[in-house]
């Protein structure tokens, strides 16, 4: 049931304040006056010790689910103290890459039925790793075959392009980082800020959804383009990859997410006055580096669209022709949840304006159950 919406993708983008609330329900415990706030993930509580003692955490997934894990990787590294690596499921299988008994392998999948991810799970089980699932579908193959896990509880996702599952996956993995990290003194400030940020996140998501009309106007400007680049780094490298994936899969426009630190190692050659480029430059530890990326793109007459924190438009835009998308600022590790939303809206409006099928893009299926 699409309710007041024209498409499922549109509905699922706009219901993110509610889906995120459901994802967190019963899992964030506010402590008393001197008791720190804590995270309770029922499905993991008996396994946290093993996870903390593992030699490595390996995230495994495909497409959007892989991107969600990439967005959560820095906070996991910071809070867990365990090295974190990333594997695209098919690539792990192609290489028969190393997975050890001392590893915790985390399988991220909305459907819980993706063939590549499921085969990677069988492979990791054979190799003796502790296998953890992060799935949206109760009773799915991945939920059943993992040793333990967390349901993201985002509600059924019907549009082929994953939107609300992505943001709920990031939130669950941030909670996973908090759960693994435990309440050590060194983590205390970051923990508290992250938990407060999680509690307020649905409000910030409601706020960023007000950019809908602005993103529709931007889509009108970009409707006839051949290509769109998205530059990100740090916490928002994943946002660049995921934003570009949305644009290519539904709007059928070539789009590429680029790690901004790699700009001078090739992509800079593409820059001219015609190619539109989105640069994600919200406030975090990478902000000044992104400012210098913007300057260099501007010096090559790049057509810039800068995503920045509220109030920063004048500070980040180098010239008249630059457009700004101002988003609310949140705790750095949660900023990817806010930042993806304007790009989801942009992909949605581009698709409708270009006259393509939003909910069932050509050649794609919601659940990829074949290799």
In the complex, the residues that contact ligand F6R under the rule CB under 6 A are 62-65, 109-111, 114, 117, 161-162, 245, 249, 367-368
Question: Please, which residues have CB within 8 angstroms of residue 218's CB and are 6 or more apart in sequence?
Answer: 305, 323, 325, 346, 349
Asked if 136 touches ligand UD1 (CB under 6 A), the answer is: no
Question: Please, which residues have CB within 8 angstroms of residue 176's CB and are 6 or more apart in sequence?
Answer: 41, 44, 72, 76, 106, 134, 150
- The Cα–Cα gap between 72 and 187 comes to 16
- The Cα–Cα gap between 360 and 218 comes to 23
Tokens of 259: 């790690």
Sheet hosting strand 103-109, strand order edge to edge: 84-88, 56-61, 103-109, 130-135, 148-151
Nearer to ligand F6R by Cβ, of 40 and 138: the residue is 138
- Which phi and psi angles does 170 have, rounded to 5°? -60, -45
Q: What angle do CA 262, 266, 271 make, to 5 degrees?
A: 100
Asked if 138 touches ligand UD1 (CB under 6 A), the answer is: yes
3-class secondary structure, 38: strand
Nearer to ligand F6R by Cβ, of 75 and 141: the residue is 141
Min separation Cβ 116 and ligand UD1, Å: 16
Nearer to ligand F6R by Cβ, of 89 and 129: the residue is 89
Nearer to ligand UD1 by Cβ, of 107 and 348: the residue is 107
Min separation Cβ 162 and ligand F6R, Å: 4
Min separation Cβ 349 and ligand F6R, Å: 16
The listed partner (ligand UD1, ligand F6R, none) that binds 114, CB under 5 to 8 Å by sort, is: ligand F6R
Binding characters for ligand UD1, 145-174, by CB under 6 A (x = yes): -x-xxxx-----------------------
Asked if 135 touches ligand UD1 (CB under 6 A), the answer is: yes
The listed partner (ligand F6R, ligand UD1, none) that binds 69, CB under 5 to 8 Å by sort, is: none
Enumerate binding residues for ligand UD1 (CB under 6 A). 42-43, 133, 135, 138, 142-143, 146, 148-151
């Amino acid at each position: 049931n699409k309710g007041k919406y024209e498409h499922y993708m549109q509905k699922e983008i706009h219901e993110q304040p509610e889906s995120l609330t459901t994802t967190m329900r019963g899992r964030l415990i506010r402590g008393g006056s001197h008791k720190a706030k804590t995270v309770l993930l029922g499905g993991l509580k008996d396994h946290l010790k093993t996870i903390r003692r593992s030699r490595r955490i390996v995230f495994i997934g495909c497409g959007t689910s892989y991107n969600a894990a990439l967005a959560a990787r820095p906070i996991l590294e910071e809070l867990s103290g365990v090295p974190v690596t990333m594997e695209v499921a098919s690539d792990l299988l192609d290489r028969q890459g190393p997975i050890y008994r001392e590893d915790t392998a985390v399988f991220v999948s909305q459907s819980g039925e993706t063939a590549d991810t499921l085969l990677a799970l069988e492979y990791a089980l054979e190799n003796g790793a502790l296998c953890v699932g992060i799935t949206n579908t109760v009773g799915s193959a991945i939920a059943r075959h993992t040793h333990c896990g967390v349901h993201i509880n985002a509600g059924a996702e019907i549009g082929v392009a994953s939107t609300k599952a992505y943001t709920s996956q990031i939130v669950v993995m941030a909670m996973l980082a908090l759960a693994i990290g435990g309440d050590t003194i060194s983590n205390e400030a970051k923990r508290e800020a992250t938990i407060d940020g999680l509690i307020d996140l649905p409000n910030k998501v409601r706020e960023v959804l007000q950019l809908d009309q602005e993103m529709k106007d931007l889509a009108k400007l970009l409707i006839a383009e051949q290509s769109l680049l998205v530059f990100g780094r740090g916490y928002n490298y994943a946002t660049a990859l995921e934003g570009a994936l949305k644009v290519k899969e539904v709007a059928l426009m070539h789009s590429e997410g680029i790690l901004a630190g790699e700009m001078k190692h090739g992509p800079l050659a593409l820059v001219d006055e015609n190619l539109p480029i989105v640069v994600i430059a919200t406030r975090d530890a990478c902000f000044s580096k992104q400012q210098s990326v913007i300057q260099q793109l501007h010096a090559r007459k790049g057509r810039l669209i800068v995503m920045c924190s509220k109030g920063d438009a004048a500070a980040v835009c180098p010239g008249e022709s630059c457009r700004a998308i101002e988003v609310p600022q949140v705790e750095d590790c949660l900023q990817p949840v806010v930042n993806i939303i304007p790009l989801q809206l942009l992909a949605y409006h581009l698709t409708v304006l270009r006259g393509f099928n939003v909910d069932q893009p050509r050649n794609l299926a919601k659940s990829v159950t074949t290799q």
